Structure 1
Amino acid sequence: MCPWKEGGVLRSFSGSSKKAKRRQKKTVRETKKPGEAIIKGHRSYDLMLSLQLGIRYTVGKITPIQKREVRASDFGPRASFWMNFPKEGSRLTPSHPAEDFKWKDYCPMVFRNLREMFKIDAADYMISICGNSALRELSSPGKSGSVFFLSQDDRFMIKTLRKSEVQVLLRMLPNYYNHVHTYENTLITKFFGLHRVKPSSGQKFRFVVMGNMFCTELRIHRRFDLKGSSLGRSTDKIEIDENTTLKDLDLNYSFYLEPSWREALLKQIKTDSEFLKSQRIMDYSLLLGVHYRAPQHLRTRASYRRTMTAERLTVLSEEGKTHLYLPVNGFYQHVTI
């Protein structure tokens, strides 16, 4: 039985009763969403409007076209399309409150097929990102200086990229497409779109749309970014909360999986790692999330370590104690070009 569910997230192994499900929904409602809502007056407001207009245009244009297998000509920097979005609107674009901007869409047929491969409905995709609700801007979890946006329903993450990162993604896109098509349980990040915005009076913004790795009905109590190394791999924060990104040396307890699940998981990690190696990607990590059925209110680093040393979390069956989530490998959040 496959241990993954839709979206590359490991299945929850407990809490299947109605009572457990009610408790899970209550927990979700109590969780404060991370990030800052981008409303009028926010520094990223015009950029958000441009993103939403461009994505709505892209998806609306490509979706009615009859689906076909991708060709070699669908890949690469030449498989891109431009569109001008003047403030007053045009024959093809609506009027809008942002300044004039140019929109560039990379490899639209490839990403259309990827969205369908990942079972992303086009209408749901547009509503999530381009609906009436504002996106949320997150503080950057890495050293790249990238800006992150999150859809209000938490399903999609948008990350700004450097030009060199776009070039790497375009170079590896044919092999990435084949990999995720071959291995439906891949833990590698799911990419849904690659775009560029050029405001008339500003700099270019390149960005990729990805699946949010922690979009789940369950509350994620602990998050770990694991590289398999020890140098500098512990958090320096004193206060630990649910949004703290913990590292390798902070993970000092074990998970027990059913043998078949463990074998499948390790096999997929090895397969994905070999793929990243073949693409000359060196700096990547595994993002792991943990949900506690009876969460401890752990605030300080010291109490976190004491409690985690005393406990061993078990994932065995539907009578188990925790839910273990191994979302998509977020290597593009950590890749160094």
Structure 2
Amino acid sequence: MLNLQLGIRHAVGRQSAPTSLDLKSSAFDPKEKVWTRFPPEGSKHTPPHQSCDFRWKDYCPLVFRTLRKLFDVDPADYMISICGDDALLELSSPGKSGSFFYLTNDDKYMIKTMKKAEVKVLLRMLPAYYKHVRNYDNTLITKFFGLHCVKITGGIQKKVRFVIMGNLFCSRYSIHRRFDLKGSSLGRMTDKPLDQIDETTTLKDLDLNFIFRLAGSWFQEFCRQVDRDCELLEQERIMDYSLLVGVHFKDRSLIYSSSFFPSYRQRQC
């Protein structure tokens, strides 16, 4: 993680703020990347450090720098969150991808390791993604802030690629239950017994047994935005996506109530 923090501090600290949200198509070219070497003794552009000699790569740096501006991310706060004295927290993988997940100490950002194929997909859809998040302030699609790679110089270790994302569950309200909803029932139930379910458990479709009520105008806009977001994902041929939902209970006694979970264990298509 030290290499990651050194790279972020270097990349964000040396870059000037973008002057415009209008980007040329060349900024989205997958070949648009910057390599920087970090020798332990330091260099003209990098500080001395206690890690090994490594190389750091920024993918489409201007695009992600502009995305951070678009999402109102302050560069100094961004660096403090990821590169501060507090260590990043490693999370167990909630999915089957084998990726590692890290959370910043202030809960603002998540870092996910990625396979080469996943990086290619994100770079391919980057122009459409940028256009979408610029056009729709209320998009529910994940916010991406940076795409990077670390390679140990002269070592046999593979490159480690990772993306920095916004943490949906960073809120002034405690998140008591979290759901990953795919609109399916096949295999969509947690295998944990009720007494082992807590705030960190990711629940699924068949675990959800209550109704959300929204004001009419809010509900209509929510549905419209979901449709727009799904259209983008379909356009980019992204199939494995879901809606993450965090629930805060005003009445804390409801947190431990089994009435919010189905009493059946049926599995259907």
Could you state the TM-score of these two structures normalised by the residue count of structure 2?
0.93
CA RMSD, 1 decimal: 1.6
| Higher RCO by CA contacts (8 Å cutoff, separation 6 or greater) | 1
* Matching of residues 1-337 of structure 1 within 5 Å: 48-63=1-16, 66-67=19-20, 69-200=22-153, 201=155, 202-238=157-193, 239-296=196-253, 298=255, 304=258, 306-307=259-260
Distance 1:67 1:183, change over 3 A: closer
CA offsets per residue over residues 257-314 of structure 1, 9 Å max, x none?
1111111111100110011000000110000010001112655xxx52x35579xxxx
Counterpart contact for 2:209–2:260, Cα < 8 Å = no
Gaps of 5+ in 2: 264-269
Partner SS, residue 292 of structure 1: coil
Q: State how far apart, in whole Å, the 2-side matches of 1:149 and 1:309 are.
A: 32
Q: Which residue of 1 aligns with 2:267?
A: none
Identity of aligned residues (%): 59
Aligned length: 259
Q: Which residue of 2 aligns with 1:4?
A: none
Counterpart contact for 1:161–1:207, Cα < 8 Å = yes
Kindly report structure 1 stretches of 4+ aligned residues shifted beyond 4 Å. 64-68, 307-310
The AA in structure 1 aligned to 2:241 is Y
Q: State how far apart, in whole Å, the 2-side matches of 1:256 and 1:95 are.
A: 55
The AA in structure 1 aligned to 2:173 is L
Distance 1:103 1:294, change over 3 A: same
Distance 1:86 1:138, change over 3 A: same
Partner SS, residue 187 of structure 2: coil
Q: State how far apart, in whole Å, the 1-side matches of 2:169 and 2:159 are.
A: 29
Q: State how far apart, in whole Å, the 2-side matches of 1:85 and 1:120 are.
A: 26
Quick check: 226-235 or 71-80, which moved more?
71-80
Counterpart contact for 1:63–1:122, Cα < 8 Å = no
Q: State how far apart, in whole Å, the 1-side matches of 2:163 and 2:86 are.
A: 20
Q: What is the CA-CA distance between 1:67 and the residue it aligns to?
A: 4.6
